[in-house]
Copies of this chain bind each other. A is one copy, B any other.
């Protein structure tokens, strides 16, 4: 059985440019880059555990922070209601074609 994927919005505050770049590189392999320090990912529980583990090794625990906001199951049609924006266009919301 394939485990459920969730949309997870991941944002990070990393003060050091070198660490920021490290986090960016990890995140790039796991989702769509929507803002400077924000990615939208589709993660199973297992993906999330692994991602957290990798990020925890890359950041400085007392100064940096990575926030995970779970938005709900990927198969739901709610995403367009849940994530909206003003200003610059958002990445295409149909992320079904993407394989992480």
Contacts and interface: CB of A to CB of B under 8 A. Distances in A.
Interface of A: 9, 11-13, 34-38, 52, 55-56, 59-71, 81-88, 90
The 3 closest A-B pairs by CB, nearest first: A65-B88, A65-B87, A13-B35
Report how many copies the assembly holds: 2
A56 B86 contact: yes
Nearest to A64: B87
Contact of A65 (B59, B60, B90): B90
A70 B82 contact: yes
B59 A85 contact: no
Given A9-B69, A11-B11, A59 B86 contact: yes
Nearest to A6: B82
A90 B67 CA distance: 8
A85 to B, nearest CB: 5
